[in-house]
Amino acid sequence: MPKIKGNNIPPPPPDFKSKYDMRVLPAVMSFFLMVSVSSFLKIYEYWNENFKRQKEIENENRTSELNFLKSQLNPHFFFNSLNTIYSLSISKSTKTPEAILNLSELMRYMLLDRKENAIDMKVKLKEEINYISNYIELQKLRITPNNKIDFKVNGDIDKVEIYPLLFISFIENAFKYGVHPIAESTIKIEFVITDNALLFEVTNDLHFQKTSYDSFGLGNKNSIRRLNLYYPGNVIKIDNDQKYKVSLLINLNEN
């Protein structure tokens, strides 16, 4: 029998299992990676669509609520304004035609809210203050000389835009409860505009107590809710001690 030299010993056969693992393992890892990525993309797509739908529902709810609040605001405003004109007509005042003309100007401004997509439409603060000024002039036609109106605007209003009709309810209530036919009284209305903020304040005496059936609470609650929807970070303070005072601070960079 021939002798086999040590250096002529054939190498051992390759480990088939190890060789198989080396070839299959990367393919298996690639497959699981593809499945994982695909699953992640599906989950992300589902989450993204769900998030968009949630935002759509929130926007729809917000729009519906704002429309409802506006539907309350306009009759509330017209009711109070018509009471003013009615009082003038009862006394056969020569100011009645002027009051009707003034009210028509106010109504024209309020019709802006009836335009399509008006929910998120802003107006120039200058226009809003002009509207408030017209309302004050309308109220001056019915009040007696012992009632003083202090209306001030400080700051640059030409470049500022605001959502309309956010302040009028507070001013309406000031005239409703802050004037008296005999007693001395003052209504103070002030706007202060800086680069980043708007401060609105209205202060009045309380000559008449609100009743459970009047519109005092409705007007204020309506305005506060609209402010919170438009400017979630606003600051509202109401002082009802010796005088009724509303302070509102709006961050103009917020929205």
Per-residue pLDDT of 113-171, as tens digits, reads 555 456 678 889 999 999 999 999 888 888 889 999 999 999 998 889 998 888 988 99
Count CB atoms within 10 A of the CB of residue 49.
Answer: 10
pLDDT score, position 57: 55
- For residues 102 and 231, what is the distance between their CA atoms, to the nearest angstrom? 30
142 vs 53: which has the higher pLDDT: 142
φ and ψ of 40, to 5 deg: -60, -45
According to the model, what pLDDT value does residue 132 have? 93
> Which pLDDT belongs to residue 100?
84
Other C-beta atoms closer than 10 Å to the C-beta of 98 total 14
Three-state secondary-structure class, residue 179: coil
CA-to-CA distance for 245 and 255, rounded, in angstroms? Answer: 26
| Exposure letters 100-118 (e unless 16+ CB within 10 A, then b) | eebbeebeebbeebeeeee
Average pLDDT of the chain, as a whole number: 76
Which of 159-163, 186-190, 232-236 ranks highest by mean pLDDT? 186-190
- DSSP strand pairing (123-124 vs 161-162): antiparallel
Where does the pLDDT of residue 52 fall: very low under 50, low under 70, confident under 90, or very high at 90 and above?
Answer: low
Nearest to 129 by CA among 101, 95, 96, 154: 154
Report the pLDDT averaged over residues 98-118: 72
> What would the pLDDT profile of 196-231 be if each residue is shown by its tens digit?
899 999 999 877 655 444 544 566 777 888 888 888
